[in-house]
Amino acid sequence: MVIFRRYTSGARRPLAASRATIYAALVPPPKDSEELKKKREFIARLSKWENSLNQNLMEKARKEILDANGGKPPRVLDPFAGGGSIPLEALRLGCETYASDYNPVATLILKCTLEYPQKYGHSNQEGNGFGSTINLSANRLLEDVKKWGNWVLKEARKEIARFYPQDKDGSIPVGYIWARTIPCQNPSCGAEIPLMRQLWLAKKSDKQVSLFPNVSSGNVNFRIVGTGYDKMPEDFKPSEGTVSKAIVKCLVCGSVIDGKNTARLFREGKAGQRMVAVVLYKPKVSGKRYRIANDEDMKAFNDAEKYLEEKEAL
């Protein structure tokens, strides 16, 4: 049994370098200069990116590794596998490979890179670079993702669908856009300022939608303008919001709050929050729609907050 360990940082290793290192570690050292020259030439070919799927070359490397280890695939362990370069190349070279990582993101990447191609692959179609093959006519991984994704969606709907009540036209809220708020520090104003870096809701070549602030009676309200809504005013710049680098501008009186005072208001608990808009999805209609939040949306939010408190108390 041969165990290949790595106790270095989890930075991603180049695949070709990992392949060459593993091969060199698992075959005997050259006996003379002629053998050394041949080994170097072989490693140089093995390390080329375009040779990753060269079955003849990979089979030769696998055979040499097997011969060097008594005909049994050596066991390769990478206890801090990170992105999986070393275990991936160990699999290509026919090793019995083990990989782990304490980072859950890395663990998911390892599963997708090392486990799923073998688990969901078939053995009657096209090579996948691991010495086995994949049936390209059926994507079992995609089918399983859809199956369990739909199961999660179904179970989630049972519990929380009531907190996303449908609109009269059948549209379903799928997201709520909020803004933090602070009071204007101008003594003659005191308006609630929504803190928004920019006002875009959608910014695509064929769909540009934005929030447009309306100032009336000392209050800031919004309406939606752009593609499919009211025409966007010509002098309006949605990329310019009310806050930049903690410097806040009041839309009512035009006064400015510097960064230090913005931070102070948050520390003193004088910041609030405000639901601004709702993102909508309508079955059988492509794309998202938007509308301004209303009292019913806030009621749904308050109900959800109460329900969460009850669940946390259990």
Give the pLDDT mean for 245-269. 96
Structural contact between residues 60 and 19, judged by C-beta atoms closer than 8 angstroms:
no
Q: How far apart are the first and last CA of the chain?
A: 51
pLDDT given for residue 211 in this prediction:
97
- State the pLDDT at residue 14: 82
- At 128 the pLDDT is 45
- Residues 6-29 have pLDDT tens digits of 545 445 568 888 899 999 999 999
Average pLDDT, stretch 146-166? Answer: 92
What pLDDT is attached to residue 284? 87
Residues 186-209 have a mean pLDDT of 95
Task: Calculate ∠ Cα 139-140-144, nearest 5°.
Answer: 125
Q: Which two tokens stand for residue 267?
A: 């520390």
The pLDDT value recorded for residue 164 is 92
Among candidate residues 112, 78, 120, the one with its CA nearest the CA of residue 95: 78
What is the per-residue pLDDT for 144?
85
* pLDDT surpassing 50 at residue 250: yes
- pLDDT tens-digit profile of 47-83? 888 888 888 999 999 999 999 999 999 999 998 888 8
The predicted structure's pLDDT at residue 137: 55
- Better-scored residue on pLDDT, 128 or 224: 224
**267/140: higher pLDDT:** 267
125 pLDDT higher than 60: no
Q: Is the pLDDT of residue 132 over 60?
A: no
**What average pLDDT does range 302-311 have in this prediction?**
94
Percent of the chain with pLDDT over 90: 70
The answer on pLDDT for 301 being more than 50 is yes
* pLDDT of 133 strictly over 70: no
Q: Is 53 left (phi over 0), alpha (psi -120 to 50) or beta?
A: alpha
Mean pLDDT of 175-203: 96
The pLDDT assigned to 63 comes to 95
Residue 126 pLDDT > 50, yes or no? no
Q: State what percent of residues in the chain have pLDDT above 70.
A: 90
Please check the confidence at residue 246 and state whether its pLDDT lies above 60: yes
pLDDT per residue over 99-123, tens digit each?
999 999 999 999 988 888 877 765 5
Give the C-alpha distances (Å, rounded to integers) separating 245 from 213, 242, 265, 299: 20, 10, 15, 33
| pTM for the whole structure | 0.62
Choose among 153, 194, 155: nearest CA to 174. 153
Average pLDDT over residues 274-301: 94
Q: Would you state the pLDDT for residue 124? A: 46
